[in-house]
Structure 1
Amino acid sequence: MAEKETTREAILRACVEQMEEKGYGRTTTKEIAEHAGVSEMTIFRHFGSKQNILLAAIDAHSYLPCIEALFSKHITYQLENDLILISETYQQLMKQNQSLIFIGLNERHTMPEINETAAENPKQLKLFIINYFQEMQHRGRLRPDLDLEAHAMTLLWLNAGYFIASGSSPQQAVTDVTQDRFIEASIRTFARGLTV
């Protein structure tokens, strides 16, 4: 049996759904409250402001626990396989949080604090990848002359670019290349450039 949604969870869900439909600026706390089935006073008691609800939603949907588990339990130090796993996991987590990600992208100029909160996930993922590359160098499986931060960012940008392109509406989609095909082809090429 599914667990009953808490008041806080209902407010966060309602916030995301309303902002996805209307945008941050056109969504009111009254609409969020109605959609969550609570009073507007309950929203202010839990969060204080509409902005705080959005920041809490972003924080609640952090993918860092999944990334930590990936790197601590599933990495095999087989470069191509690991990079494919990292990319597949990244795409899955981004799709799960797609609504929040696009709300954040749309509001990044009006609410810089959203950028700061949302940037924590990719910053931490970059550090995990750099540490992974350092260990691979230590094992003699990566070229010793690599700029590890630049290559970690290349892997992130590669995956972020595919997510953004595939997350567009069908009329705006840039590519028909499936996720599996994209990851396999791009990671194979990327991994070749890193190896000894």
Structure 2
Amino acid sequence: MGCLFSQFKKTSPLLTPLCISNIMLVINKYHVRCLMQSKKINTTDRILQSALELMQKKGFNLVTIKEIADASNVSEMTVFRHFETKKGVLESAIKKNTVIPSFKKTFEENIVWNLDQDLMLIAKLYLDLMESNKSICLIAVQERFTMPELVRLISDNTEQLKIFITEYFKEMQAKKKMVELDSYSQASTFLSMLFGFFISAALWETEFINLSKDQFITNSIHTFCNGIKK
């Protein structure tokens, strides 16, 4: 910031002391505003992370706002000011960690219209993102009967992803690179296969599927593509 002002001063020798003072005041206000915004973002993220860790460990109903505040090193009032309710914390975490933007970008920029390569890419991205959102998924499993709206929030993301894959399969059929099948059903089957691996690993680690993520992806994509490739 100082270097920027020095350079500006060199190129503007006619600046009066009052002008210089006003410029510095504007710069300082902007700097303070940026710091405050950064602090706010960091506080929000810290609350969300602490809340998810506590809810995964104890269950949604047993976690209190006080515990979330203590774990986040903020006051209870700060938690309420950011999210209003405990349920609001969880809903904000789900919305913040939506996987849709990453998939939208992948479908727009990285698809090469090769069935094996594309589905391998999609499978890796899906499992990586699900792993990063494991806390949310496990909380949804725990609270599926007490908070059905939470499951609906997550299923909305899944449905959007299914639509991306459905449209991809339709285009692959139009390009004569895939056999004529119901695209939506195939997209559902594909995602169910990947979700099955994720949830079994999240709940039971290697007790149910004793394969690494890469092994599972390679073998399952090979089998899946052999069934639908033209």
Shorter-chain TM band: over 0.9
- Consecutive unaligned residues of structure 1, counting only runs of 5 or more, are none
More helix by share: 2
Of 20, 32, 40, 2:68 maps to 32
Matched, 1:167 2:167: no
Letter in 1 for 2:213: Q
1-side partners of 2:192 and 2:87: how far apart? 28
Q: Which residue of 2 aligns with 1:182?
A: 216
Aligned to 2:184: 149
- The one of 116, 123, 132 equivalent to 1:87 is 123
Matched, 1:134 2:184: no
Alignment partner for residue 43 of structure 1, among 79, 95, 99? 79
User: Percent identity, aligned pairs only?
Assistant: 38
Higher Cα radius of gyration? 2
- Of residues 126-135 and 19-28 in structure 1, the stretch that sits farther from structure 2 once superposed is 19-28
Report the residue type matching 1:129 in the other structure: I
Aligned length: 192
Return the TM-score normalized by structure 2: 0.80
State the distance in 1 between where 2:115 and 2:218 align: 13
- Superposition map of 1:48-127 within 5 A: 48-127=84-163
- TM-score normalized by structure 1? 0.93
Give secondary structure in 1 for the equivalent of 2:128. helix
Question: What amino acid is aligned across from residue 180 of structure 1 in structure 2?
Answer: D
What are the superposed Cα offsets for residues 36-72 of structure 1, whole Å, 9 maximum, x if unpaired? 1111112112211101110111111111111111111
Deviation at 1:32, TM superposition (A): 0.4
Unpaired segments ≥5 residues, structure 2: 1-37
Q: Is the deviation greater in 111-120 or in 149-158?
A: 111-120
CA distance in 2, matches of 1:90, 1:118: 14
Distance, in Å, in 2 between the alignment partners of 1:43 and 1:175 is: 40
The structural deviation recorded for 1:173 is 2.2
Letter in 1 for 2:224: F
Could you say which structure has the greater relative contact order, defined with CA pairs below 8 angstroms and 6 or more residues apart? 1
Computed over aligned residues only, the root mean square deviation of the Cα atoms, in angstroms, reads 1.4
